[in-house]
């Protein structure tokens, strides 16, 4: 699947063929085309798998606190040069393709929802323990935290000098006042 992700990043989503993926992966074309109902399904699976590897859901499931989550976001967006360029290109390719393909849009929306549900649990635990602002529903704060992560990622990719660490510290200070 990494072969497909690389090809999307290199050529653009629309120019990848199952044949090219098979060649890159060193597999017979029949093996690749047998496993997927067409090129689009293959590329969608490859993109989602690459995102899941870049941001493992296990890390979200293992979060001990909202502070840990902010640390995870800070690590992800803090050093844009450290981001796998295949993954960041793939992210833009997938978002653009999702605008056209409801199936991909649905899959990405579901993936965002999976991360968000784990963040909700972390926020709720923090609120119960008095460490996190309790003046807003956990769901709303989780949506906010997810948006901050995605928005900062987007902006540091456009502007590597963005002070993402400062923004995350500001959010930490806001949330800490319970």
User: Which residues here bind a second copy, judged by CB under 8 A?
Assistant: 12, 14, 88-89, 92-93, 95-96, 98-99, 105, 108-109, 112-113, 133, 135-137, 139-141, 143-144, 146-152, 154-155, 157-159, 162-164, 166-171, 173-175, 177
Q: Could you tell me the smallest distance in angstroms from the CB atom of residue 28 to a second copy?
A: 31
Determine contact, residues 118/61, Cβ cutoff 8 Å: yes
Residues 6 or more apart whose Cβ sits within 8 Å of residue 51: 87, 90, 91, 94, 111
Determine contact, residues 24/7, Cβ cutoff 8 Å: yes
Q: Could you tell me the smallest distance in angstroms from the CB atom of residue 117 to a second copy?
A: 13
Nearer to a second copy among residue 25 and residue 112 (C-beta): 112
Q: Could you tell me the smallest distance in angstroms from the CB atom of residue 136 to a second copy?
A: 4
- CA gap 102, 92 in Å, rounded: 16
């Amino acid at each position: 699947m990494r072969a497909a992700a690389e090809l999307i990043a290199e050529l653009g989503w629309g120019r990848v063929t199952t044949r090219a993926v098979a060649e890159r992966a060193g597999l017979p074309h029949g093996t690749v085309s047998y496993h997927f109902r067409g090129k689009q399904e293959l590329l969608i699976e490859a993109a989602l798998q690459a995102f899941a590897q870049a941001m493992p859901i296990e890390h979200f499931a293992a979060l001990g606190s909202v502070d840990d989550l902010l640390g995870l976001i800070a690590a992800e967006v803090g050093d844009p040069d450290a981001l796998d360029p295949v993954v960041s290109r793939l992210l833009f390719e997938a978002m653009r393709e999702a605008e056209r393909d409801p199936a991909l849009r649905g899959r990405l929306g579901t993936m965002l929802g999976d991360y968000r549900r784990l963040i909700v649990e972390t926020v709720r635990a923090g609120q119960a323990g008095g460490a996190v602002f309790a003046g807003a529903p956990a769901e709303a704060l989780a949506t906010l935290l997810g948006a901050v992560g995605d928005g900062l990622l987007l902006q540091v990719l456009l502007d590597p000098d963005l002070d993402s660490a400062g923004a995350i510290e500001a959010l930490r200070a806001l949330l800490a006042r319970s």
